[in-house]
Structure 1
Amino acid sequence: MSQITTLTFFRYNTFLNRAWAFGMMQFAHTPLSKVKGQTTYKLMGSGKDGFNPFPDWSVYALLQIWENEDAANKFLENSELMKQYKSKSSEQYTLYLKNLKSNGSWAGINPFKKSDTLSEDIPLIAVITRATIKKRLLFKFWKYVPTSQKPLEGNKGLIFTKGIGEVPFTQMATFSIWRDKDSLMKFAYGSEEHKKAILDTKRLDWYKEELFSRFQPYKSKGNWSEIETLPF
């Protein structure tokens, strides 16, 4: 069985549970570093809707890369840590992902390996883009973000998107789910706003580090009010 990735979202409704989730951004590292069958993990907060750099204190995410799906299932279903997360959160949603293509680096490496068990029957595509923004260019970068993201408004090819990241403002990522490859390509290369963002990225050299990775989502567990029912 080949490498898979899971991305789990948690939503917290009360002040105490949000405070607990914030604290776990530090305290969960010890148990997570000991999980068997896990090769990499990233604890992340999230941004307000519209790829806003300011934190959304109600939503956190856990990205994990696994040697195989069995290892992922054992942790997600049986671990004491996940039981704690589930007891504190009002919603939990896990997507299982197989890597299609990945370019760039995250913390100095590219952790994603292309899957050899892809299905031809699933047109959906999930995307993770992650970057560390140069501090001297932070203002210019975030000033243009609303313009570059405008084509997402009412985009029928987009199922879900959320800004996530390890550090607010400087280390940011986006996660999105698209109905098919054509929908993704029309946004990336068909909209003038996003094409300009791509050109500015090259011209201004915004990033100290960047990664772009596509996945085939093939399984989900739990529920998320902002994501429609997927066909698996």
Structure 2
Amino acid sequence: MTETTTGRISENIASFHLIRYGTASAMRYMAFDRPVLRATAGLAFWRLMGTGRGRSMSLGADLRRWALFAVWRREADLESFLASSALSARWRREAEESWHVRLAPTASRGRWGGVDPLPGPHPRPAGDTGGPVAVLTRASIRPSRLVAFYRVVPDVDRLLARQDGCLASVGVGEWPLARQATFSLWRDAGTMRRFAYAQGEHTRVIEHVRAERWYSEELFARFRPYASEGAWNGDDPLKGTLA
């Protein structure tokens, strides 16, 4: 099963959608939604994912909340999906809470399922503009490194919770345990870089990841959020931050 289509992404438009239903029976939509997404015009890459209970990756799953990451050929394709897709219509009809953000990629490296979902070049902002930053990190964890990976997750979660520049974060994943990702929002690029590179606990984890080859595949992508709507845990974490 592929979740990509061939051809160049002309505008480098991405989106992230976080949907919370009333009951865990929403699990069935993971199967029902895939044919809809495969047939969606202009959708160049997509992943449906479950979510964790905490702010980062964890062993606990929230079976009522699901996520979609998508890359679109044109802004108009995303507009059409949100306005007329059966999937987005169900979000409006059945979801207890939903949040949607539009993303302009500014940096990306790595692959997802053997594919580069965000081929460049990406326009780089002129200096640190001070606006919010979104980050997507994704990895396929080697089976032999699963225990080591989940042993350090609580420490990283506690560190993330102490970052006053982190507006919101959620752990997401395609498969239980082994294919994990984190989507996070930061007040600005400076606060994001301080967490990534200046925190001792986090840099030690990165050193272990590299030295012991925990991942068989990984992706890091950074975005400029430029529009958001809806609620994530009762509020829009980007409210008042976008020009």
Q: TM-score, normalised by structure 2?
A: 0.88
Q: 1:231 aligns with which of 226, 235, 241?
A: 241
Q: 2:59 aligns with which of 39, 53, 61?
A: 53
What pairs up with 1:69-148 in 2 under 5 angstroms? 69-114=75-120, 115-116=122-123, 123-148=131-156
Shift of 1:86: 2.3
1:53 alignment partner, SS class: coil
The verdict on how the C-alpha distance between 1:113 and 1:223 changes in structure 2, with shifts beyond 3 A counting, is same
Letter in 1 for 2:78: A
- Contact 2:135/2:221 (CA < 8 Å) preserved in 1? yes
1:88-140 Cα distance to aligned partner (Å, 9 max, x none)? 21111110001011111100011113444968866211000000111111111
How many Å separate the matches in 2 of 1:118 and 1:82?
A: 31
Which residue does the alignment assign to 1:6? 15
Letter in 2 for 1:8: H
Letter in 2 for 1:219: A
- Aligned residues with identical type, % of pairs: 31
Superposed CA RMSD in Å reads: 1.8
- Contact 1:54/1:168 (CA < 8 Å) preserved in 2? no
- Contact 1:130/1:171 (CA < 8 Å) preserved in 2? yes
2:11 alignment partner, SS class: coil
1:69-99 Cα distance to aligned partner (Å, 9 max, x none)? 1110111121122111321211111100010
Letter in 2 for 1:98: A
- Contact 2:130/2:189 (CA < 8 Å) preserved in 1? no
Shift of 1:29: 0.9
Shift of 1:227: 3.9
1:179-209 Cα distance to aligned partner (Å, 9 max, x none)? 1111011101111000101100011110111
What pairs up with 1:156-175 in 2 under 5 angstroms? 156-175=164-183
Letter in 2 for 1:23: R
Gaps of 5+ in 1: none
1:147 alignment partner, SS class: helix
1:27 alignment partner, SS class: helix
- Contact 1:134/1:170 (CA < 8 Å) preserved in 2? yes
Gaps of 5+ in 2: 1-9
- Contact 2:156/2:202 (CA < 8 Å) preserved in 1? yes
Say whether 1:23 aligns with 2:11: no
What pairs up with 1:135-214 in 2 under 5 angstroms? 135-214=143-222
2:29 alignment partner, SS class: helix
Shift of 1:226: 5.1
The verdict on how the C-alpha distance between 1:117 and 1:101 changes in structure 2, with shifts beyond 3 A counting, is closer
Q: 1:38 aligns with which of 29, 40, 43?
A: 43
- Contact 1:123/1:180 (CA < 8 Å) preserved in 2? yes
How many Å separate the matches in 2 of 1:58 and 1:204?
A: 35
Quick check: 147-156 or 200-209, which moved more?
147-156
1:106 alignment partner, SS class: coil
Quick check: 106-115 or 180-189, which moved more?
106-115
